[in-house]
Structure 1
Amino acid sequence: MKAKNLLGLDIGTRRIGVAVANSSIKIAIPLTTIEVNDGDEILQINKIIVNEKINTIVAGLPRNMSGEETAQSVYTKEFLENFKLSVNEIKFQDESLTSVQAENILKSYKKPYTKGDIDMQAAAIILQDYLEENF
């Protein structure tokens, strides 16, 4: 199987956490946080897709405690429509509790962190979970 460059996204209405990985290395790396701002976030993500030669987007899909999709799930799916022509495939990964996991990881570093850092780390967790399940 040919190696793929993957982009992990933790999509929110204020910020989008971004992580990258290569399927042959299987390690998700937090990359950046993008502020949602009048469509500029779409341009920024497209720039990352080009620069990192991304084949696949893996986005966290929110679900409620019963496992059902939420209004945020619909928002996420609609947002990803912007990238259908930019990548070969768009995949979804359950993002349950990834923000909690991300904050716990950042707390363990005993350094100050921001909400953006949490989103970026959550994107890496989403992408890492996908890598472990699929490669």
Structure 2
Amino acid sequence: MDSTTNSDVYPRGIKLGVDVGTVRVGLAICDPDGILATPFKTVGRDAKKNSDIRVVVKQAVELSAVQIFVGLPRTMKGEERGSAQMATEYAELLAAELSRSGAAVPVNLVDERLSTVTAHRNLHEAGMSSRNHRKVVDQVAAAGILQHAIDMQKARGTDVGRRVQAPAQSDQPTSAPTLGAASGRDPDSSTRGLQL
């Protein structure tokens, strides 16, 4: 029996890692066998028009990606605060744009505690000056997020992270909302559309 028919088994193929920041978004990719994640691209964050989300979707389609992991920054105690809310909203917008474009690529949120700190340390140890870190640190952080996810998938033999569902199209506006734009959000909006 083919084990890939089990819905809990993770997909094989190229995957993307996404590190969401307020100014930049880092992207990383892995090989189809999920062995090594590598830094790929840094995209300027456009919270008003969300053009960066369309860039991520375009890359996913061009690379025939089978899955996208968005880093979910938690505190050392495992709590989710403002940056985690931003990452969750970004993942929801990404899932919605993928759905609109007809790309059936699942988006999972995965724990990314200390990914940026680790990325800065790795770049420093590689001899890169702190001044040049900004150009690539988001990509390196995204690679750390993706490597963590693919390593966990192999170790557990199942998919990992928290799957993000695109909101229902019927109640969606024609243009994508911007992050944090809705001031009168319902209190459960941070978990709406997510399943464990």
Q: Does 1:108 align with 2:119?
A: no
Q: Does 1:68 align with 2:68?
A: no
What secondary structure is seen at the aligned counterpart in 2 of 1:31?
strand
The change in CA–CA distance for 1:92 and 1:23 in structure 2 (over 3 A counts) is farther
RMSD between superposed Cα atoms in Å? 1.6
| Alpha-carbon separation, structure 1, partners of 2:66 and 2:34 | 15
- Which residue is equivalent to 1:99? 116
Deviations for 1:55-88, whole angstroms, at most 9, x for unmatched residues?
Answer: 2110110112321111221211111122322343
2:45 partner letter: V
Q: Does 1:3 align with 2:20?
A: no
Structure with the bigger RCO (C-alpha within 8 Å, sep 6+) is: 1
What secondary structure is seen at the aligned counterpart in 2 of 1:45?
helix
| Alpha-carbon separation, structure 1, partners of 2:50 and 2:78 | 30
Q: Does 1:122 align with 2:141?
A: yes
- Which residue is equivalent to 2:105? 88
Q: After superposing the two structures, state which structure 1 stretch, 120-129 or 74-83, moved more.
A: 74-83
- Which residue is equivalent to 2:33? 24
| Alpha-carbon separation, structure 1, partners of 2:77 and 2:19 | 20
Q: Which runs of 5+ in 1 are unaligned?
A: none
2:145 partner letter: I
Is the 8 Å Cα contact of residues 68 and 107 (structure 2) preserved in structure 1?
Answer: yes
| Alpha-carbon separation, structure 2, partners of 1:98 and 1:25 | 19
Q: How does 1:28-47 map to 2 (within 5 A)?
A: 28-37=37-46, 38-47=49-58
Identical pairs, percent: 28
| Alpha-carbon separation, structure 2, partners of 1:23 and 1:59 | 18
Q: How does the TM-score come out when normalised to structure 2?
A: 0.64
Of Structure 1 and Structure 2, the greater strand share is in 1
- Which residue is equivalent to 1:54? 65
Q: Which runs of 5+ in 2 are unaligned?
A: 5-10, 155-196
Q: How many residues align?
A: 135
